[in-house]
Chains A and B, each alone.
Chain A
Amino acid sequence: MIEAYKEALHFLCTPTAMGWMLIGTVVSIIGGIIPGITAKITIVLFIPFILLFPRDIALLILVALQSASVTGGSITAILINIPGTNINAATLLDGFPMTRKGEGNRAIGAAVTASMMGGAIPVFLALAMIPLLLPILMAFQAPEMAILVIGGMTCVAMLTPESTTRGLASAALGVLISLVGYQGSTGVSRFTFGSMFLYDGFSIATFALGLFGLAEMFDMKLKGEKSITNITLAQTKLTGLAQTFQGARDVWHHRWLWLRSTLIGYVVGLIPGIGGEVAIWVAYAQAKYTSKNPELFGTGCVEGVIAPESANNAKESGALLTTMAFGIPGSGLMALFIGAFLMVGVVPGPKMLTDHLPLALTLLLGIVICNVLGGIICFFSAPFLTIITRIHMDYVFSAILCVIFIAAYAVEESLLNIVVVVGLGVFGLIMKRFKFSRPALLLGFVLGGMTELYTLRSIRLYGTLFFMRPICLILIAIIIGAFCYPYIKRLLLLRTQKQV
């Protein structure tokens, strides 16, 4: 084992390996920043060239291409309210409000630091967790997944403190929209009205582009805002890199939050079939529940940035481990990885960790290095990138409108999708005006389909009492506990105050 580590480190420290990791990381960041271009696209573009490289370098480049994309995606989410990747969606809630308050650099600093550490540090857990991995994988069947996803849905409650009825209605609408399309299990086309375009439903990217990105642009234009940030430089305490470092300090200050969120992301990443979308919302919810100032969430609270950003990077590390150790793709992206492994003659699975241990360690340690590289690049780029928030709205609006249109087309390769995004933009504007929760709608959309899938599957397999299983009951207890915790806390506080 020590020899394998030495071999891996020795290889990673060569100029060739470092050079390719740097290039891969930069491409990954750019892919993450630009909406419509995801890590999947960058990896698909690279795969035809994979055979031109030696095996280890080829796989290292793949790892680099995905490592920092989520970190890059957080920048777009924070600066222009468009998540660069699907699993940056929760960062919008507090990241963009921070930018509006003139704290964009701080938000980026916090996001990037949390991401970097969230992606890098769990890797060291990875090898220790391998003996536990198989029992976890075997234990998490459809009922457990259903309860996990339902637990994710209960996070709706914390997204709508102002009006529970409107929040629930928004979430339910999101669920309905997620059901548009062909239901494979029954062969029924729901709400497609005979259109092939709606056959596969809508994508999260389309939703995010319209409901958040475009809606926000419309709102700012209608209000006559001069720029994204409505606070002048003179009014901000810190600017530039100083503010970015403040964000990094915030992560240290909230290190237990970071740790909890990272663990949530990592464990969810290990379980195939559950997307990162669950991880980020659960992480956000637990951040709010455990915060001393939960009322600040949604208004530009740095904890609301740290939690989801730790979880989303940690999730990818977990997914890679499941992929390598069992040949089971932990995410859609990992399915591409499996194809790439096979192309270079490496069969993912238990034997990979015995026959190809140095390679497995190279890739895992490669994630660490790429996350760190990506973090550093984004960290020091932040002051330059936040300039966009002070540029006049005329330029920002017109350019971002074009980028949104292009991203909308790129996501589905259809001009009709641009119309959908515009429609969602208008709807998002109306929702914002009438105080319906767009995050709740997005959460309902993201988790609605999964909730139906796992719940119906559980009922088909085990009947209506499918949740009467040990792990399910434990999860239900945790969810109820987490739900009741703020109320219990308030009750205890009131009692203490009365006694005093």
Chain B
Amino acid sequence: MYFLFLMFLLALFIFINSLSFPYRDARLVPVLASTVIMAMMLIEIIRKFRGQVKVLPGEEKAEAGNKDKGEWSKLARLMGWVGGLLVGIYVLGFMFAIPLFLLAYLKSQGRSWLIAVTFSVSITATIYVIFVIAAGIMFPAGLIFA
């Protein structure tokens, strides 16, 4: 239900924003599309209030998942790793952040040092060969090494 409301509010925001564009040609499609979203979300919300909406397979579980603290903490841990990699790339650059991330992640999942190191080195080397040497993509050096 919260997601439906959020979508509705997002569409409303876009609708209001679009009305400020100076030309009809710039307004037309955003206004139409946001109206469609608002209308569809309204229909869904009304149906839910009336109890008419057919529960789609998996949706019960999704709704339940919202209340399941276990799922939230899993998601938070996952986002932590993703965020950590992102920060690592920003600070250290791709070529340092990636092997460190791989090593840290595999170790946190209980893998042995040998496997973790071998895997990290191989993946990093493969990435380096394909993206840096072959494709010539220049990765930024990271805050520390810039």
Find out whether A and B make contact in their complex, taking CB atoms under 8 A apart as touching.
yes
A residues sitting closer than 8 Å to B (CB atoms) are: 30, 34, 36-37, 41-42, 45, 162-163, 165-166, 168-169, 172-173, 175-176, 179, 183, 185-186, 188, 190-191, 218, 221-222, 394-395, 398-399, 401-403, 405-406, 409-410, 415, 418-419, 422, 426, 430, 433-435, 448, 451-452, 456
Known: A186-B26, A435-B56. A169 touches B14 (CB 8 A): no
A-B contact pairs, 13 of them (CB 8 A): A37-B131, A163-B56, A169-B37, A169-B40, A173-B11, A183-B26, A191-B17, A221-B78, A398-B101, A402-B101, A406-B139, A422-B86, A435-B62
Per-residue CB proximity of B77-116 to A under 8 Å, as 1/0?
0110110011001100010001001100110010100000
CB of B78 within 8 A of CB of A406, answer no
9 A-B pairs closest in CB distance: A169-B40, A433-B62, A172-B36, A188-B26, A165-B40, A172-B33, A435-B56, A175-B33, A394-B109
**Shortest Cβ distance from residue B74 to the other chain A in the assembled complex, whole angstroms:** 5
Interface check B136, CB cutoff 8 A: yes
B127 contact from A398, A406, A419, Cβ within 8 A = A406
Known: A165-B40, A405-B85. A179 touches B29 (CB 8 A): yes
Known: A401-B82, A434-B59. A176 touches B25 (CB 8 A): no
Expressed in whole angstroms, the Cα–Cα distance for A45 and B40 within the complex equals: 47
Interface check B22, CB cutoff 8 A: yes
Interface check B19, CB cutoff 8 A: no
Cβ–Cβ < 8 Å partners of B123 in chain A: 399, 402
Interface size on B, as a range, is 35 or more
B residues sitting closer than 8 Å to A (CB atoms) are: 3, 7, 11, 14, 17-18, 21-23, 25-26, 28-30, 33-34, 36-37, 40-41, 43-44, 56-59, 62, 65, 71, 74-75, 78-79, 81-82, 85-86, 89-90, 94, 98, 101-102, 105-106, 109, 111, 119, 123, 127, 130-131, 135-137, 139-140
Expressed in whole angstroms, the Cα–Cα distance for A408 and B52 within the complex equals: 42
Task: Using CB atoms, name the residue of chain A closest to B86.
Answer: A418
CB of A394 within 8 A of CB of B105, answer yes
A406 contact from B82, B94, B109, Cβ within 8 A = B94
Task: Using CB atoms, name the residue of chain A closest to B122.
Answer: A399
Known: A165-B43, A169-B37. A186 touches B58 (CB 8 A): no
Cβ–Cβ < 8 Å partners of B59 in chain A: 434-435
Contacts between chains A and B (CB distance < 8 A), count: 138
CB of B109 within 8 A of CB of A162, answer no
**Shortest Cβ distance from residue A298 to the other chain B in the assembled complex, whole angstroms:** 12
Known: A165-B43, A176-B14, A394-B105. A448 touches B29 (CB 8 A): yes
Expressed in whole angstroms, the Cα–Cα distance for A274 and B41 within the complex equals: 32
A186 contact from B25, B44, B139, Cβ within 8 A = B25
Task: Using CB atoms, name the residue of chain A closest to B18.
Answer: A190
Cβ–Cβ < 8 Å partners of B11 in chain A: 173
Cβ–Cβ < 8 Å partners of A426 in chain B: 79
Known: A175-B33, A176-B34, A434-B59. A222 touches B3 (CB 8 A): no
Expressed in whole angstroms, the Cα–Cα distance for A344 and B40 within the complex equals: 55
B131 contact from A163, A186, A410, A430, Cβ within 8 A = A410
Task: Using CB atoms, name the residue of chain A closest to B55.
Answer: A435
CB of B56 within 8 A of CB of A162, answer yes
**Shortest Cβ distance from residue B94 to the other chain A in the assembled complex, whole angstroms:** 7
Known: A172-B37, A398-B106, A434-B62. A452 touches B74 (CB 8 A): no
Cβ–Cβ < 8 Å partners of A183 in chain B: 25-26
Expressed in whole angstroms, the Cα–Cα distance for A41 and B81 within the complex equals: 30
**Shortest Cβ distance from residue B131 to the other chain A in the assembled complex, whole angstroms:** 6
Known: A176-B30, A395-B119. A406 touches B65 (CB 8 A): no
A176 contact from B26, B33, B139, Cβ within 8 A = B33
Cβ–Cβ < 8 Å partners of B71 in chain A: 222
With most chain B CB atoms within 10 A of its CB, the pick from A163, A165, A402, A451 is A402
B23 contact from A37, A188, A398, A430, Cβ within 8 A = A188
**Shortest Cβ distance from residue A395 to the other chain B in the assembled complex, whole angstroms:** 6
CB of A169 within 8 A of CB of B41, answer yes
Expressed in whole angstroms, the Cα–Cα distance for A34 and B136 within the complex equals: 14
B90 contact from A36, A179, A415, Cβ within 8 A = A415
Expressed in whole angstroms, the Cα–Cα distance for A435 and B22 within the complex equals: 36
Expressed in whole angstroms, the Cα–Cα distance for A243 and B28 within the complex equals: 50
Expressed in whole angstroms, the Cα–Cα distance for A186 and B82 within the complex equals: 39
Known: A37-B135, A415-B140. A168 touches B30 (CB 8 A): no
Cβ–Cβ < 8 Å partners of A399 in chain B: 102, 119, 123
With most chain B CB atoms within 10 A of its CB, the pick from A34, A42, A405, A434 is A434
Known: A172-B33, A173-B37. A415 touches B105 (CB 8 A): no
Known: A37-B135, A433-B65. 17 other contacts (CB 8 A): A30-B130, A34-B131, A172-B33, A172-B36, A176-B30, A179-B30, A183-B25, A186-B23, A221-B74, A394-B105, A394-B106, A395-B106, A409-B137, A415-B140, A434-B62, A435-B56, A456-B28
CB of A402 within 8 A of CB of B36, answer no
Task: Using CB atoms, name the residue of chain B closest to A224.
Answer: B74
Expressed in whole angstroms, the Cα–Cα distance for A33 and B43 within the complex equals: 42
CB of A406 within 8 A of CB of B28, answer no
With most chain B CB atoms within 10 A of its CB, the pick from A163, A188, A398, A415 is A398
Cβ–Cβ < 8 Å partners of B140 in chain A: 415
Task: Using CB atoms, name the residue of chain A closest to B34.
Answer: A176
Cβ–Cβ < 8 Å partners of B127 in chain A: 402-403, 406
